[in-house]
Amino acid sequence: MSGGPWTGNDREHNDACHERWLPVRNRVTDRPGYRDDWYDAQCGGCRFWVALGGELGRDWGVCTRPGSVFDGRVRVEHDGCELFAGREDGSFG
């Protein structure tokens, strides 16, 4: 990881981050209790979700929603919270 600025495109590092971060999900689609109405209210579709750069940005971003317990935290795009605010254009990710 030397020889220039970090670009976030190291596959081994990204895979390790992905595995390390998955357990902190708030909502997991394949767990009992996941509600159907949460499917359309995932972080990746929230106007306060900002994707990370590099390869990690394909699945991960930062919550910037004031008042959310996740404000300032890395979240997977398929997670969600009670303060979801959909994007006007309906985009995701």
pLDDT for 6-57, tens place per residue? 667 788 988 999 999 999 999 988 889 989 889 889 999 999 999 998 888 8
Tell whether 61 is covered by a domain: yes
Alpha carbon distance 22, 16 (integer Å)? 10
Q: Which domain holds residue 32?
A: 11-76
Indicate if the pLDDT at residue 2 is higher than 60.
no
Tell whether 1 is covered by a domain: no
The number of domains in the chain is 1
Q: Which helix (H) or strand (E) holds 74?
A: strand 74-76
Q: Which helix (H) or strand (E) holds 49?
A: strand 49-51
What pLDDT sits at residue 3?
62
Tell whether 28 is covered by a domain: yes
Tell whether 90 is covered by a domain: no
Tell whether 33 is covered by a domain: yes
Whether the model pTM is above 0.85: no
